Amino acid sequence: MKWIKPLYFNNRAFQAAGIIVFLAILGYSVDFFETIARLLIFGLLALLVIDIILLFRVKKGMKAERFAPEKFSNGDENPIKLSVQNFYQFEVNLTIIDEVPAQFQMREANFKVKLDSGGSQVINYTLRPVKRGEYHFGKLNILTQSPIGLISRRFQFAEPVMVPVYPSFIQMRKYELLAISNDLTMQGIKKIRRLGHNQEFEQIKEYVAGDDFRTVNWKATARKAQLMVNTYQDEKSQQVYSLIDKSRVMKMPFEGMSLLDYAINATLALSNIAIKKGDKAGLISFQNKVNTVLPASKRNKQMQLIQESLYNQKTAFKEADFSRLFVAVKRKLTQRSLLMLYTNFESMAGLERQLPFLRNLSKSHVLVVIFFQNTELTDLLESRPKAVKDIYYKTIAEKYDHEKRLIVRELRKHGIYSVLTTPKDLTINTINKYLELKARGLI
């Protein structure tokens, strides 16, 4: 029979059965307990029948829906809403089990709810993905108990669905709104005074009706004995390229996310800010070879193209080939551009191998090397050693931390800008550097 499949016996039923069995065993020696056991058996069977009738006489006793975004934002809390409604004529106790994607490893994604007759309730919770890709939801299971509580009836709702996880568009929108409202300082982003004008001088011409009086050139007017005005042309949009290293050094995890995913999230936010500021945004990704080259543009669909390109970025855990990056940049980028290079150097030896290619890149473009602080080493540096072993570990940590500072100094010596940041502050520090270079007129 079809109704047997969604039927489950609860702990209360097993406890009652256990008591009856115990009394039945005692009944072998005392007739009184045997009589009680028989009465309890009949009583339990009667309650089971009543409980089954109460739960299964209504075909659609419950209704439930899951509301999830069409896509998830990587590294952010994404809201999930469950709506449950009771059509029974009595109060029910519910256990709601949502089959969340396996990537979250949530073994206890269940909620306990009590609903009155005809009542409804909305349950909100969040999921934080840490990897891009496809996430598959299963069914939404509702285990329903009557006030008797001996059995549960299972209802299933919400067909299995796939939700893609994209780079952090929530973070992108947040910084976009702050940029539009000029409220970036609230997030730790520096407000930098722009030097000069936002327009470049073009020529002096005679005044015609409609010209701005503020552009009158009084010296030229005095010489010509008629009104002369300065004309300006808008500054040309500058190209801002994000160069993403996808090699094995970018797979180091921080709070569940890899450095590569932090770089991808920062790239999306920076590209959006650059386009909003009138610049062109582009993308290049590489490891042992150059994989993606998306030409810089500020057209309407550019952000969608960047987001789709970032969604598909994966690593093969190979070494980065900066020589191929240099060749690709030289061939593809004919205009002087701002290059934001996301990579990671743990030692001076690692930098020295790639320094010749970085120097060549900086000759034709404004190069910013963005690499990461090891936050675990920072915690170790701030700790107080309690044993000889701890002193040894702290000494090694100080050595690595010192090398990071040396890398910054070495890059500066060769005219290469750098950003040494924690993964958590990557987006803020990257946008800061872009605004700083733009304000100084270097791009």
* pLDDT, position 339: 96
Which of 23-32, 69-78, 150-159, 404-413 shows the lowest mean pLDDT across its residues? 23-32
Q: Which of 51-55, 219-223, 393-397 has the lowest mean pLDDT?
A: 393-397
**Comparing 424 with 28, which gets the higher pLDDT?**
424
User: Would you say residue 196 has pLDDT above 50?
Assistant: no
169-191: pLDDT as tens digits: 999 988 876 665 555 555 555 55
What backbone phi and psi angles, to 5 degrees, belong to 189?
A: -90, 130
pTM: 0.79
More confident of the two residues 33 and 276: 276
273-317 confidence digits (pLDDT tens): 999 888 999 999 999 999 999 999 988 899 999 999 999 898 878
